[in-house]
C-alpha cells in the first residue's frame, strides 16, 4: 500500500523544477511501479514514465555517449539507471522504450575513456569515489545483461567531441583534459570552475588530480571544492574561471575557443 501511495504522489509531483538526473529518476521510478503493479492506474504510471524517458534520453545522453551534466560520477549513476531499466523490462518481458538499449554501449565507451589506469573515474565537476558502484561493478552488470565484450582504450588522442573532454594515452602516460563547457546551460548544478583542468597518471598511478567532491550544501568547503583553485589549472588574479556561487549555482561561465590538438610521430600537442 505504501508503495502505491508514493507512486501516486510522484505521478502528480514530478521534479520539473530540477530536471536533469532528478526528472530521469522520476521517470525510472514510474516505470518500475508501472511494471510491478497491475491495472489501469499502473499503466498510466508506466506510460507517463516512458514518455518522460523518451523525451529525456536524447537530451541527457550526448552524441559521444556522455551524460550531459559532464560529471563522471553522475554518468555512472545515469548508466546504472539505464541498466536497471533494461533489466526490469527483460524480467517482465516488456518491450524496451525507444532509444534505451542503443545508448548503453556508447555510455560505457565514454566512461572507460574518462577513467584512470587504476580503473576508477576522474574528478571533473561533482565527482567522488565510493558514491556509485565501482567502474568494474558497473561493467560486470553490463556484461550480465550481454551488452558488450571487453573494451579497451586506444593509444593516442581520444576526442569526446560532444562532451568536450579528451584522453591522451602515450606509453605509460594517461592524461584527461577538460576543454568542455561547464554543463547544460540551464542546469549547471554540478559544475565546477574547472575549465582547462587536467588529470594525469604515470605508470598506472595518479599523479595530478582535481580535488573532487566531498560535501554538498553552501559551506566554505563546498565553495572551495567548486573553485578554480582546487583544480589542476591556472588561477588568474585570484578569480574563478566560472562564477560558481551558492551550492549549485553558476553565473558567468568560461567558454573554450580555438581549441586544437595534433598527433604526429609519437608527439601529441594540445
Count of domains observed in the chain: 1
Outline where 92-232 has alpha helix (H).
Answer: 104-113, 135-144, 220-226
pLDDT of the residue at 177: 98
Q: What is the 3-state secondary structure (H, E, C) of 59-111?
A: HHECCCCCECCCCHHHHHHHHHHHHHHHHHHHHCCCCCCCCCHHHHHHHHHHH
CA distance 48 to 244: 35
Q: What pLDDT does residue 140 have?
A: 95
Q: Which residues of the chain have pLDDT under 50?
A: none
Percentage with pLDDT > 70 across the chain: 98
Residues 6+ apart with CB under 8 A from 173: 200, 201, 202
Residue ranges making up the domain that contains 122: 61-269
* CA distance to 19, 69, 111, 169, 206, per residue, from 185 (Å): 12, 10, 22, 30, 31
The Cα 137–Cα 131 span in angstroms is: 13
Give domain status of residue 53, yes or no: no
Of 265, 206, 70, 65, nearest to 147 by C-alpha is: 65
- Given CA atoms 65, 67, 73, 78 in this order, what sign does their dihedral have? negative
- 185, part of any domain: yes
Note the helical H segments in the chain. Answer: 2-12, 20-36, 40-60, 72-91, 104-113, 135-144, 220-226
- 17 located within any domain: no
Residue 46 is predicted with a pLDDT of 98
| Burial class of 80 by CB neighbour count within 10 A (0 to 12, 13 to 18, 19+) | middle
Q: For residue 43, what pLDDT is reported?
A: 97
Q: How far is CA 131 from the centre of its chain?
A: 13
Residue 99 lies in a domain: yes
Q: Is residue 217 part of a domain?
A: yes
Residue 123 lies in a domain: yes
Residue 92 lies in a domain: yes
Q: Looking at residue 258, what is its pLDDT?
A: 86
Instruction: Look at the pTM and tell me if it is higher than 0.75.
Output: yes
pLDDT digits (tens, 9 = 90+) for 116-143: 999 999 999 999 999 999 999 999 999 9
Q: What is the pLDDT of residue 94?
A: 97
Q: Is residue 190 part of a domain?
A: yes
Amino acid at each position: 500500500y505504501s508503495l502505491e501511495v508514493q507512486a501516486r504522489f510522484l505521478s502528480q509531483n514530478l521534479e520539473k523544477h530540477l530536471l536533469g538526473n532528478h526528472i530521469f529518476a522520476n521517470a525510472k521510478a514510474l516505470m518500475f511501479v508501472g511494471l510491478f503493479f497491475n491495472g489501469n492506474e499502473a499503466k498510466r504510471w508506466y506510460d507517463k514514465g516512458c514518455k518522460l524517458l523518451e523525451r529525456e534520453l536524447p537530451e541527457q545522453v550526448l552524441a559521444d555517449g556522455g551524460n550531459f551534466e559532464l560529471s563522471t560520477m553522475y554518468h555512472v549513476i545515469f548508466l546504472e539507471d539505464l541498466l536497471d531499466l533494461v533489466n526490469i523490462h527483460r524480467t517482465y518481458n516488456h518491450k524496451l522504450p525507444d532509444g534505451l538499449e542503443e545508448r548503453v554501449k556508447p555510455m560505457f565507451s565514454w566512461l572507460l575513456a574518462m577513467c584512470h589506469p587504476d580503473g576508477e573515474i576522474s574528478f571533473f565537476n561533482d565527482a567522488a569515489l565510493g558514491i556509485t558502484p565501482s567502474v568494474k561493478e558497473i561493467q560486470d552488470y553490463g556484461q550480465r545483461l550481454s551488452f558488450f565484450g571487453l573494451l579497451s582504450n586506444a593509444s593516442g588522442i581520444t576526442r569526446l567531441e560532444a562532451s568536450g573532454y579528451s584522453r591522451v594515452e602515450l606509453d605509460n602516460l594517461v592524461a584527461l583534459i577538460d576543454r568542455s563547457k561547464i554543463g547544460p546551460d540551464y542546469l549547471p548544478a554540478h559544475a565546477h570552475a574547472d575549465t582547462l583542468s587536467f588529470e594525469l597518471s604515470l605508470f598506472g598511478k595518479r599523479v595530478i588530480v582535481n580535488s573532487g567532491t566531498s560535501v554538498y550544501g553552501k559551506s566554505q568547503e563546498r565553495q572551495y571544492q567548486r573553485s578554480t583553485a582546487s583544480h589542476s589549472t591556472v588561477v588568474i588574479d585570484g578569480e574563478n574561471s566560472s562564477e560558481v556561487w551558492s551550492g549549485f549555482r553558476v553565473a558567468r561561465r568560461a567558454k573554450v575557443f580555438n581549441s586544437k590538438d595534433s598527433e604526429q610521430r609519437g608527439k601529441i600537442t594540445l
